[in-house]
């Protein structure tokens, strides 16, 4: 981890289903969006142990919202937030499926400046991407970052999103989209 929490280790689930983004890809992603992270509201979907959202807070995000369906991963995430000493109001953990959370947030007109969609490999991936592409949970001018297998490229344009960059490392890709 870099930023103000540099050198801290995070607890993580030993689940074989848990996938960890290559560190070099994560660091590269955060360099690309560095200027936009400061003061931003950051949504980390399918958060796992919360590494991406915690990195965002470490680099100046005002708030990270972590959505994780696994009770075990959410427990690790809460411990990581406590161990980092993150103050109340700067991190929130929502233990539920991403699709219902996004639908509820859209109805409540709750938006974020940056939305990160972690790779789950599950059947909900397409629906999550489709909901986010409608732009209801991303501020106008905000960005969405989608983690996906490199052999499954995402479209250049979808809904209100336009791809402006893609990065790849070890079979994992990140597609960066601007919301108009």
Measured between alpha carbons, how far is 167 from 180 in angstroms, rounded to an integer? 21
User: Coil, strand, or helix at residue 101?
Assistant: helix
pLDDT in tens, the chain (180 residues): 556 555 544 555 545 555 678 889 999 999 999 999 999 999 999 999 899 999 999 999 999 999 999 999 999 999 999 999 999 999 999 999 999 999 999 999 999 999 999 987 788 888 999 999 999 999 999 999 999 999 999 999 999 999 999 999 999 999 999 999
- pLDDT for the residue 167: 96
Measured between alpha carbons, how far is 16 from 39 in angstroms, rounded to an integer? 34
Contact of 139 with 67, CB cutoff 8 Å? no
- pLDDT for the residue 146: 95
Measured between alpha carbons, how far is 177 from 142 in angstroms, rounded to an integer? 8
Return the H-helix or E-strand segment holding 97. Answer: none
Q: Count the residues in the chain.
A: 180
Cα dihedral 63, 37, 152, 164, rounded to 10, equals 140
How many of the other CB atoms lie within 10 Å of CB of 86? 16
- pLDDT for the residue 5: 54
Cβ partners under 8 Å of residue 46, min gap 6: 67, 68, 69, 98, 117, 118, 119, 120, 128
Q: Residue 22 CA to chain centroid, in angstroms?
A: 14
Alpha helices, H only, the chain: 23-32, 34-37, 51-58, 71-84, 98-107, 125-133
Contact of 22 with 28, CB cutoff 8 Å? no
- pLDDT for the residue 14: 46
Measured between alpha carbons, how far is 57 from 54 in angstroms, rounded to an integer? 5
Domain boundaries, the chain: 39-179
- pLDDT for the residue 58: 93
- pLDDT for the residue 123: 82
What's domain 39-179's superfamily in CATH?
Answer: Vaccinia Virus protein VP39 (3.40.50.150)
């Amino acid at each position: 981890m870099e930023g103000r929490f540099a050198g801290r280790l995070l607890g993580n689930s030993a689940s074989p289903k848990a996938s960890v983004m290559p560190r070099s890809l994560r660091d590269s992603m955060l360099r690309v969006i560095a200027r936009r992270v400061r003061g931003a509201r950051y949504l980390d979907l399918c958060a796992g142990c919360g590494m991406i959202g915690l990195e965002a807070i470490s680099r100046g995000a005002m708030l990270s919202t972590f959505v994780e369906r696994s009770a075990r991963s959410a427990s690790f995430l809460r411990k990581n937030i406590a161990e980092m000493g993150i103050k109340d109001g700067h991190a929130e953990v929502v233990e539920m499926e991403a699709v219902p959370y996004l639908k509820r947030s859209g109805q409540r007109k709750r938006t974020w400046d940056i939305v990160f969609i972690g790779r789950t490999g599950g059947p909900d991936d397409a629906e999550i991407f489709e909901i986010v592409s409608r732009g209801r949970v991303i501020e106008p001018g905000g960005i969405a970052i989608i983690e996906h297998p490199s052999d499954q490229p995402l479209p250049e344009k979808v809904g209100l999103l336009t791809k402006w960059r893609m990065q790849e490392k070890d079979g994992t890709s990140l597609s960066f989209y601007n919301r108009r």
